[in-house]
Amino acid sequence: METTKTTVPIPDKKNIFTKQTFPVTGMTCAACAISVESIIKATEGVKDASVNYANQSAWIEYSDAVTIEEIQNRTRSIGYDLIVNEEDPFQAQQDQQQKHYEALKKRTVLAILLSIPITIIGMFFMDMPYGNYIMMTLATPVVFYFGRSFFTNAYKQAKHGKANMDTLVALSTGIAYLFSVFNTFFPAFWHERGLHAHVYFEAAAVIVAFISIGKLLEEKAKSNTSSAIKKLMGLQPKTVTVITDGKETEVPIASVVIGDIIVVKPGDKIPVDGEVTHGISFVDESMISGEPIPVEKSKDAKVYAGTINQKGSFQFKAEKVGGDTILAHIIKMVQEAQGSKPPVQKLVDKIAGIFVPMVIGIAILTFIAWMVLGTENALTHALLTSVSVLVIACPCALGLATPTAIMVGIGKGAENNILIKDAESLELGHKVNAIILDKTGTITEGKPVVTDLVWKADPKETTLFKQVLYSIELQSEHPLAEAVTEILKRENTASVVLDRFESITGKGVKATYSGKSYFIGNPKLMTQHQIEVDATLAEQASQWQKEAKTVVFFADDRTTLAAIAIADKVKATSKEAIRALHDRGIEVYMLTGDNAQTAQAVAQEVGLTHFKAEVMPSDKASFVKELQAQGKVVAMVGDGINDSHALAQADVSIAMGKGSDIAMDVAKMTLITSDLNMIPKALTLSSKTITTIKQNLFWAFIYNLIGIPVAAGLLYPYNGFLLDPMIAGAAMALSSVSVVGNSLRLKMIRFR
């Protein structure tokens, strides 16, 4: 993917600004994005910048007074990097993320393996010979090699006067480790004061291992970045066939210019926007309009890049190329929508922003208080209590509170045919109060089918007529023919050999069998050949048309034999699902590129009052923005490429499993069964998951609320009790166990 670059010329050269999007590497939390953004904005020559932690990118608007290399160096100075001067910077970013994930996975596994024997020795064989030295040897690589990222990230934050979860992990593990090393080499210091020289290597190692698991889960989500843009770009062929001096020549798409005559063969993707000059075919334009039935193209008809030609061949004149095509605009809109969202501020990060400085402050105050107010063992008590405060407050449970609940929630969703790609959708789902549904493939099946077939022929002759109808439709290239052959095939209809077959452009087909002529087509074809339309069939056809169904007649050379109604059927569960959403107090809207009559018929059938017809892809995204501007949390549900921009713009995006790969790539959730009843279930799952996360945070903090004052020595003046750091470590472990246990309760959710 190339960087987006727009240059706006202004007379004063100093005010010529370039706006570019770059991948950012090295960010591990939302606070990192804020740090990168602030350093870039502070660079002389930068007009504005926005860093997005969610998709690891930054757009920067800068003048000629500064080069992008200078901005890159400023970013590097605080430990992050911009990817510039790469042919495909976003691919380079994905490669780096994948390498980082693999390295983190290896470090996490090794940290767990080394922590197990440390924990066993520390808990059950504390007095074994050289036990402390063995634990120290095993704990050193865990804390300072496998856990080095916590220390480097804490240092980065400290340089900017900030603190986050990494700060508390680095402090607690670092102090617990150093305290244990001192006790290993100088146990006499404590023995002389009547105290046992405890070591806490297992606490330091287990903290690193547990938090690394949480980091690994988060990194996995980031490493599986969406390939939606690449797939959209893949809709444009690499080469095209151009007519030059009367000959067909294959050229790279980049060399196509306005006015070129391009040849499109059956099955080809149309490379650029243009106008048909010769030939007839049907083109699948569902990526733009959402309409499931391919559109007939003849001379002077418009064609669009990325749409797919069906069985016919034609030539067209290029009118819009490169970045001016409809497809290029869709790609740009999806990219901008994905990158314009503010960085996701996780609940834990917000809490940690207050909690971490408080814990550090309490530990320092504890040390000072004991030194000032303590007895003859003031230094001993000051060290023990301040270390106990940091160990008991170590955010193991805090770090596990969100990822464990999210992990179990995602697993529960998968069991119920709801694939969740991003934790953000689980976090926001319970807040959704407006849902937009695409029509084709979402509310409806997305494929034209025969809904009604009424015969007026003599029952004795019906079998033969079915065979003739089946045989004619087998040869027809019309997109609706397949729907008719499908229903007759299910009745085991046999085919016959036709004497003659003729396609009548825009109206239908004519065939001859056993010397008799037969016609299949619209009412205009019947009128043109002076075929009498049976009154009953005419009345039935009129009713079908009111229901927005396409009507096709089958006739011989004198009268109509049958009437066929074809439509994109509404899914059996759509009405029930929409009612369930209404019952939850959610406003439901339907947007479609189809005509107003069809849209109204579908809306009435499923009980919708809010709908819009003949909507273009950009209009769908604009409507999402409109609802968001009203303060609504918007979910978009779609299945086509034409929905991708709106899906990217929505707060919660849901794709139908039988839809396009691109829609599923952009969306944060995918419904495997394409059953709309899964949407209320997904929202319930979101609500339950958020409740579990809040409960987890409660359990994570209740130990701290009780334990920190006790660890600081609050009870000492009353009963002489001081909390041993070993017990503090056990309390920390217990809080982690309770959090994991509570998260597992999500597995027992029962959906209504």
Question: Which tens digit of pLDDT belongs to each residue from 35-48?
Answer: 788 889 888 888 88
Q: Which region among 85-99, 498-512, 663-677 has the lowest average model confidence (pLDDT)?
A: 85-99
CA pair distance 610, 592, nearest whole angstrom: 12
b/e 26-36 (16+ beta carbons within 10 angstroms → b): bbbbbbbbbbb
Average pLDDT value over all residues in the chain: 79
Task: Give the pLDDT of residue 204.
Answer: 82
Q: How do strand 610-612 and strand 239-244 relate by DSSP bridges?
A: unpaired
CA pair distance 512, 501, nearest whole angstrom: 7
What confidence tier does 726 reach under pLDDT thresholds 50, 70, 90?
low
Neighbours of 424 (CB within 10 A): 19
Element (H, E) at 541: helix 535-546
**Beta bridge partners of residue 279, listed in sequence order:** 314
What confidence tier does 342 reach under pLDDT thresholds 50, 70, 90?
very low
- pLDDT tens digits, 131-144: 889 999 999 999 99
b/e 210-237 (16+ beta carbons within 10 angstroms → b): bbbbbbbbbbebbbebbbbbbbbeebbb
What confidence tier does 9 reach under pLDDT thresholds 50, 70, 90?
very low
List, by residue number, the catalytic residues: 438
CA pair distance 301, 295, nearest whole angstrom: 10
Hey, what amino acid is at 666? V
299-309: average pLDDT? 86
- pLDDT tens digits, 663-711: 667 777 877 777 888 889 888 888 888 888 888 878 777 777 777 888 7
Q: How do strand 516-521 and strand 508-513 relate by DSSP bridges?
A: antiparallel
Give the 3-state secondary structure of 123-178: HHCCCCCCHHHHHHHHHHHHHHHHCHHHHHHHHHHHHCCCCCHHHHHHHHHHHHHH
Start-to-end Cα distance in the chain: 44
Task: Give the pLDDT of residue 90.
Answer: 63
Tokens of 614: 């003949």
Cβ contact 35:78 at 8 Å: yes
Look at residue 28 and tell me whether its pLDDT is greater than 80. Answer: no
What confidence tier does 68 reach under pLDDT thresholds 50, 70, 90?
confident
Q: How do strand 273-279 and strand 550-556 relate by DSSP bridges?
A: unpaired
* pTM across the whole model: 0.59
User: In degrees rounded to 5, what are phi and psi of residue 634?
Assistant: -105, 130
What confidence tier does 225 reach under pLDDT thresholds 50, 70, 90?
very low
581-595: average pLDDT? 88
Task: Give the pLDDT of residue 11.
Answer: 43
Task: Give the pLDDT of residue 519.
Answer: 92
501-525: average pLDDT? 85
CA pair distance 132, 136, nearest whole angstrom: 6
